[in-house]
């Protein structure tokens, strides 16, 4: 397959393909972090994760329209405002959902699956009724479009770099919050022993609510970023949900590091196979390998040793 | 969902304006309407117990207005309602006003079958305008054949089907594909092609036809053929492969949310479609899809289908104007929307030619029916239940519209079972 190409061409293609793998990795990390917080730390199976992402995407759409109508001079920078607003919008919805639905179901974790699945259907129809059934086009500032030529042959998409930087910064934020902040310590304490954590004076109810809200907020930021590379419509969230769960479960619930490692291995495997095989075949093989590994290691790549 | 035709008017649609016009038309047409209805007594025009009264006839609309497919099917519903309203304003069919029962297929194929049965058995509708995906059509087909219903199906599709109970108002695959490939070979000198599609029956069958045509008739070469799962959102790998193989043409049949991801990433990867190196030719992106993709991401691509909103003819000008008046100024009209608009008109013409609402008589009268009022221009029903139509190539503009750069000189004959292409 490669005999017709010169070494420099092959080198360039492999460099770009490697970069494509890194972009996919960043996308997976962004998708999965919010879910990893919620599923990993609280054990809630949030099937509406994709819909929280799409809320972020719609917020981006409105912010972009607002800027192009009222503040055209600041349009190139609107994306940062949009991401912050997306975090708060999805986070606020998350707090509301936790208060109204999830908190009644902590003792029945499997039921959260049904409840949040129902919630995802409700949210989809809500988006459809309010924003219309058709997809909306989000205008991306010019500086974020196009590619950056590195050499004559190698070109790197700018939005890919943006997604990578975003993934790294959000991962760092989550890490700091989880392992360096008071909230993170409380979350981990509750995760290890809820009753004891309550007994030593941690407000478990409020911590749960905040955790859920932050997880949803991170999903909103991811959704906002994905307007650069994907579609924004009432059901677009469904496109991400399978991959998201795959990454989180494969990484081992409860471990942020596991999530990142699993995102890395799945994305690299998939992007290498996509290059040598067809797209559908690559997906099938990736899923088969993941299923195989999970059969041998049901707890995922990394797992926390907990006293249950 | 809603059993009544008077469901909530969608955004941008002024009920007052509609009532005013229909009142005006009603007054003007009151007398001739009754005369016409009297000369076609109900007992004679309806011998099979359909929902026909002395002054109304009921038809069904069966599309998804909830679920994934609502994105695509909304336009079809709007077009069908516009056509029915216009027909009613002209006095209806055989002097009878059309009443609509709309059912929601909810993007779920068994639901389509169940709702089709409800429309045919309980409501006894005279015909149904509906379905969008091939999967939903396949699901309702046995119901329509069992209960002898009559379906007008608007989507361009893969062919390989011809039911006595369906009229296919969109193009079948060979009509859409062959003319486009001939055009790109002739005007762009294309020899190498990269075929790309979403992984289900329509793109696969279409690419099969395209490959045959490229290899056997054009003497060209297919340098890659690939399918990605529906909803796939990461296309960087395939874009790298396309760079490596350097085809003259990317032939893309990507659908749904994947579409948006594919074109955005193509642009981000530095492939400038306006430079036509390679040329991008698609059969799956109508003006409706460009709304989601963004005109600036689609600029320079070519699409091959039978209708574009920018078609310059008086029929289309009137159609676009009426559509925007009814559904709002910002709306766009794609190929399938126009094909859906033909359904009620073709049915009306067939009923009037037959002088009856009976499905068997309508079916017989339908063959050879001509419409010279169609927005796409003149169309005619072939005896294989598909339409003769012209095929056109459009160049995507940054404003989300296509500029028509080519149209076939003659109508293209529908050929749902193409020999030598299977």
| A147-187: pLDDT as tens digits | 887 777 777 888 888 889 999 999 999 889 888 999 889 98
pLDDT at B31: 44
The answer on pLDDT for A305 being more than 90 is: no
Which stretch of DSSP H or E encloses residue A287?
helix A279-296
Which stretch of DSSP H or E encloses residue A264?
helix A256-276
A185 in any annotated domain: yes
Interface touch B257/A239, C-beta < 8 Å: yes
**Residue of B64, B76, B254, B264 to mutate, testing the A interface (most A Cβ within 10 Å of its Cβ):** B264
Overall number of domains in chain A: 1
Non-local (6+) Cβ contacts of A168 within 8 A are: A26
What is d(CA A231, CA A54) in angstroms, rounded to the nearest whole number?
Answer: 9
Report the chain A residue with the minimal C-alpha distance to residue B234. A24
A27 in any annotated domain: yes
User: Which among B11, B228, B234 has the least Cβ separation from residue A24?
Assistant: B234
pLDDT at B244: 84
Tens digits of residue pLDDT in B342-379:
999 999 999 999 999 999 999 999 999 999 999 999 99
Mean pLDDT of all residues in A74-83? 89
Mean pLDDT of all residues in B401-418? 94
Mean pLDDT of all residues in A23-35? 90
Interface touch A239/B234, C-beta < 8 Å: no
Best CA proximity match to A159, nearest among A90, A230, A216:
A230
**Residue located via tokens 């339409």:** B387
Mean pLDDT of all residues in B91-95? 92
A257 in any annotated domain: no
**Residue located via tokens 């959102």:** B233
Average pLDDT score over chain B: 88
**Residue of B71, B236, B261 to mutate, testing the A interface (most A Cβ within 10 Å of its Cβ):** B236
User: Which among A135, A147, A232 has the least Cβ separation from residue B269?
Assistant: A147
Average pLDDT score over chain A: 87
Q: How many CB pairs under 8 A join A and B?
A: 137
The answer on pLDDT for B11 being more than 70 is: no
Confidence of residue A116 (pLDDT cuts 50, 70, 90): very high
The percent of residues above 90 in pLDDT, for chain B, comes to 69
pLDDT at A72: 85
**Residue of A65, A124, A231 to mutate, testing the B interface (most B Cβ within 10 Å of its Cβ):** A231
pLDDT at B12: 45
The answer on pLDDT for A219 being more than 60 is: yes
pTM: 0.83
Report the chain A residue with the minimal C-alpha distance to residue B107. A235
Confidence of residue B13 (pLDDT cuts 50, 70, 90): very low
Mind telling me how many Å the CA of A141 is from chain B's nearest CA?
11
Interface touch A146/B268, C-beta < 8 Å: yes
Mind telling me how many Å the CA of A201 is from chain B's nearest CA?
46
Q: Could you list the residue range(s) of the whole structural domain that residue A170 is in?
A: 21-133+155-238
Non-local (6+) Cβ contacts of A156 within 8 A are: A16, A19, A147, A148, A149, A150
ipTM associated with this complex: 0.81
Q: What is the dihedral of CA B157, B163, B165, B170, to 10 degrees?
A: 20
A295 in any annotated domain: no
Tens digits of residue pLDDT in B285-299:
999 889 888 888 899
A249 in any annotated domain: no
Tens digits of residue pLDDT in B105-159:
988 889 999 999 999 999 999 999 999 989 899 999 999 999 999 999 999 998 9
The answer on pLDDT for B396 being more than 70 is: yes
Best CA proximity match to B79, nearest among B20, B24, B155:
B155
Chain B residues touching residue A142 (CB < 8 angstroms): none
The answer on pLDDT for B226 being more than 50 is: yes
All structural domains of chain B: 5-171+316-388 (3.40.50.2300), 173-305+391-407 (3.40.50.2300)
Tens digits of residue pLDDT in B44-78:
899 999 999 999 999 999 999 877 777 788 899 99
The answer on pLDDT for B19 being more than 70 is: no
pLDDT at A304: 61
A65 in any annotated domain: yes
Mean pLDDT of all residues in A39-61? 90
Interface touch B236/A23, C-beta < 8 Å: yes
Interface touch A133/B292, C-beta < 8 Å: no
The answer on pLDDT for B10 being more than 60 is: no
Report the chain A residue with the minimal C-alpha distance to residue B267. A146
User: Which among A145, A231, A283 has the least Cβ separation from residue B229?
Assistant: A283
Non-local (6+) Cβ contacts of A23 within 8 A are: A157, A160, A163, A164, B234, B236
Report the chain A residue with the minimal C-alpha distance to residue B71. A134
Contact call for residues B118 and B103 (beta carbons, < 8 A) = yes
A173 in any annotated domain: yes
């Amino acid at each position: 397959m490669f005999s017709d190409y010169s070494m420099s061409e092959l080198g360039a293609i492999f460099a770009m393909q490697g970069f494509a793998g890194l972009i996919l990795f960043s996308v997976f990390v962004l998708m999965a972090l919010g879910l990893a917080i919620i599923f990993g730390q609280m054990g809630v199976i949030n099937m509406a994760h994709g819909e929280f992402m799409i809320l972020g995407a719609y917020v981006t759409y409105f912010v972009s329209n607002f800027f192009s109508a009222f503040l055209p001079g600041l349009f190139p920078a609107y994306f940062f405002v949009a991401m912050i607003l997306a975090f708060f919008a999805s986070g606020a919805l998350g707090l509301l959902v936790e208060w109204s639905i999830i908190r009644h179901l902590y003792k029945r974790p499997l039921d959260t699956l049904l409840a949040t699945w129902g919630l995802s259907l409700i949210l989809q129809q809500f988006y459809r009724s309010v924003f219309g059934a058709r997809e909306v086009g989000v205008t991306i500032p010019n500086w974020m479009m196009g590619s950056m030529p590195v050499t004559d042959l190698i070109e790197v998409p700018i939005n890919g770099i943006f997604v990578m930087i975003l993934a790294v910064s959000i991962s760092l934020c989550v890490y700091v919050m989880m392992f360096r902040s008071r909230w993170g310590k409380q979350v981990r304490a509750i995760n290890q022993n809820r009753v004891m954590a309550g007994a030593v004076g941690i407000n478990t109810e409020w911590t749960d609510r905040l955790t859920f809200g932050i997880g949803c907020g991170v999903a909103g930021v991811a959704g906002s970023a994905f307007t650069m590379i994907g579609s924004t419509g009432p059901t677009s969230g469904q496109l991400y949900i399978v991959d998201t769960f795959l990454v989180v479960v494969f990484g081992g619930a409860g471990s942020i590091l596991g999530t990142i490692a699993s995102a890395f291995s799945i994305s690299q495997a998939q992007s290498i196979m996509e290059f040598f095989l067809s797209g559908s075949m690559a997906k099938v093989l990736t899923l088969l390998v993941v299923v195989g590994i999970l059969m041998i290691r049901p707890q995922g790549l990394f797992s926390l040793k907990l006293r249950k | 969902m809603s059993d009544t035709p008077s469901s909530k008017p969608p955004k941008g649609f002024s009920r007052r304006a509609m009532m005013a016009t229909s009142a005006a038309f009603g007054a003007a047409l009151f007398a001739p309407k009754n005369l016409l209805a009297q000369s076609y007594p109900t007992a004679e025009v309806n011998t099979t117990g359909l929902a026909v009264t002395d002054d109304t006839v009921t038809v069904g609309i069966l599309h998804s207005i909830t679920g994934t497919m609502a994105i695509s099917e909304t336009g079809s519903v709007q077009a069908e309602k516009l056509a029915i309203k216009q027909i009613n304003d002209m006095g209806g069919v055989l002097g009878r006003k059309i009443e609509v029962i709309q059912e929601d297929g909810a993007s779920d194929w068994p639901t389509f079958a169940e709702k089709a049965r409800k429309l045919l058995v309980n409501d006894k509708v005279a015909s149904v305008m509906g379905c969008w995906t091939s999967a939903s059509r396949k699901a309702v087909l046995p119901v329509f054949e069992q209960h002898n219903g009559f379906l007008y199906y608007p989507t361009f599709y893969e062919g390989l089907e011809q039911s006595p109970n369906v009229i296919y108002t969109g193009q079948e695959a060979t009509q859409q594909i062959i003319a486009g490939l001939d055009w790109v070979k002739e005007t762009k000198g294309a020899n190498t092609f990269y075929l790309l599609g979403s992984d289900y029956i329509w793109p696969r069958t279409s690419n099969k036809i395209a490959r045959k045509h490229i290899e056997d008739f054009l003497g060209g070469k297919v340098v890659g053929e690939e399918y990605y799962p529906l909803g796939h959102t990461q296309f960087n790998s395939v874009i790298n492969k396309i760079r490596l193989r350097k085809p003259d043409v990317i032939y893309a049949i990507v659908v749904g949310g994947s579409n948006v991801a594919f074109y955005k990433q193509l642009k981000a990867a530095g492939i400038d479609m306006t430079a036509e190196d390679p040329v991008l030719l698609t059969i799956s992106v109508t003006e409706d899809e460009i709304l989601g993709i963004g005109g600036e991401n689609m600029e320079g691509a070519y699409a091959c289908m039978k209708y574009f909103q920018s078609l310059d003819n008086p029929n289309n000008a009137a159609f676009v104007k009426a559509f925007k008046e009814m559904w709002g100024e910002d709306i766009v009209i794609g190929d399938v929307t126009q094909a859906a608009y033909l359904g009620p008109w073709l049915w009306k013409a067939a009923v009037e030619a037959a002088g009856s609402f009976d499905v068997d008589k309508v079916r017989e009268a339908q063959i050879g029916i001509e419409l010279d009022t169609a927005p796409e221009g003149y169309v005619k029903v072939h005896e294989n239940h598909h339409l003769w139509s012209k095929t056109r190539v459009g160049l995507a503009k940054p404003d989300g519209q296509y500029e028509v750069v080519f149209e076939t000189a003659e109508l293209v004959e529908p050929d749902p079972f193409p020999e030598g292409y299977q």
